[in-house]
């Protein structure tokens, strides 16, 4: 379970790191001797948007019933890369502190649950869980001192999401493998990033970890759900923020 999640993290970073470094190099070459968008740091409010790629997974906790199923050997998570986009509203709270609201935000992701069995004709069952999240995030952004056209920041806060892909109403049985997540989940987010100031906009690559604080498991009386006590969705996101400067 953990190995699959970590593997997808490295896949995500390897795919995007070249683009990030290229943008960083271009940024440092853009009039590094003169600060861009100097007045934008004093604006009380400004807007933007983001696009992101993510690697998602689950923190699974087995139930006490897991050991009652003699044929069931293990349950693990298989994650896949996903995509997202959102709108940014940024409020200046001080010289080094901003309050950011990211809404609306759409996130598309997929995770599989893989069940391994002993001594049966079907030794593995894979259950696909696809999610389409509408998410709202409220975050605090603490910024370093600006150095010409660059500054570092850390970010953290809370989110609330609703999954339009939830399958809680889908029929299921021991022979029809379905595991569902409840639609509404909330949790926390922490991360870091860099602000790069261009002449007409600000670009901010950001790496962020999201962990659910509520059990997203939808209970039913069948083996696939009964063997799991709780599911906490988690996600690593590489985000590219673009914000207005004028």
Please tell me the class of the 2-241 domain.
mainly beta
Q: What gap in Å lies between CA 37 and CA 143, rounded to an integer?
A: 16
pLDDT per residue as tens digits for the range 20-40? 555 555 555 544 457 888 888
Cβ pair 69, 117 in contact under 8 A? no
Between these two residues, 84 and 65, which has the higher pLDDT value? 84
pLDDT of residue 76: 92
Band of residue 70 on the pLDDT scale cut at 50, 70, 90: confident
pLDDT of residue 35: 81
- Over residues 39-65, the mean pLDDT reads 92
pLDDT for residue 15 is more than 60 = no
pLDDT for residue 2 is more than 50 = no
Q: What gap in Å lies between CA 163 and CA 205, rounded to an integer?
A: 26
Question: Domain boundaries in the chain?
Answer: 2-241
pLDDT for residue 61 is more than 90 = yes
Exposure b/e, 108-120, CB count within 10 A at least 16 = b: ebebbbebebeee
Say whether 204 sits in a helix, a strand or coil.
strand
CA atoms in the 13 A half-sphere facing the CB of 115: 23
pLDDT for residue 134 is more than 50 = yes
Band of residue 78 on the pLDDT scale cut at 50, 70, 90: very high
Of the candidates 62, 77, 60, the one whose C-alpha atom is nearest the C-alpha of residue 8 is 77
C-alpha distances (whole Å) from 95 to each of 40, 135, 243 are 12, 28, 18
Between these two residues, 56 and 67, which has the higher pLDDT value? 56
Residue labelled with tokens 């509404």: 184
């Amino acid at each position: 379970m953990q190995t699959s999640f970590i593997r997808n993290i490295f896949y995500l970073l390897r795919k995007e790191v070249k683009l990030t470094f290229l943008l960083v190099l271009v940024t440092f070459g853009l009039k590094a001797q003169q600060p861009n968008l100097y007045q934008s740091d004093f604006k009380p409010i400004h807007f933007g948007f983001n696009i992101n790629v993510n690697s998602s997974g689950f923190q699974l906790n087995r139930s006490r019933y897991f050991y009652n199923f003699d044929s069931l050997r293990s349950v693990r998570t298989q994650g896949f890369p996903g995509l997202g986009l959102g709108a940014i509203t940024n409020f200046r709270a001080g010289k080094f502190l901003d309050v950011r609201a990211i809404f609306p935000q759409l996130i598309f992701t997929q995770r599989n649950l893989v069940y391994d069995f002993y001594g049966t004709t079907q030794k593995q069952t894979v259950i696909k869980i696809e999610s389409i999240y509408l998410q709202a995030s409220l975050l605090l952004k603490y910024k370093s001192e600006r150095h010409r056209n660059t500054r570092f920041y850390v970010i953290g806060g809370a989110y609330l999401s609703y999954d339009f892909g939830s399958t809680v109403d889908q029929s299921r049985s021991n022979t029809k493998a379905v595991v569902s997540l409840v639609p509404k989940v909330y949790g926390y987010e922490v991360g870091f990033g860099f602000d790069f100031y261009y002449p007409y906009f600000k670009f901010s690559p950001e790496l962020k970890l999201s962990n659910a604080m509520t059990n997203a498991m939808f209970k039913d009386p069948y083996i696939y759900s009964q063997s799991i006590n709780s599911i906490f969705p988690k996600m690593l996101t590489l985000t590219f923020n673009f914000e207005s400067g004028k």
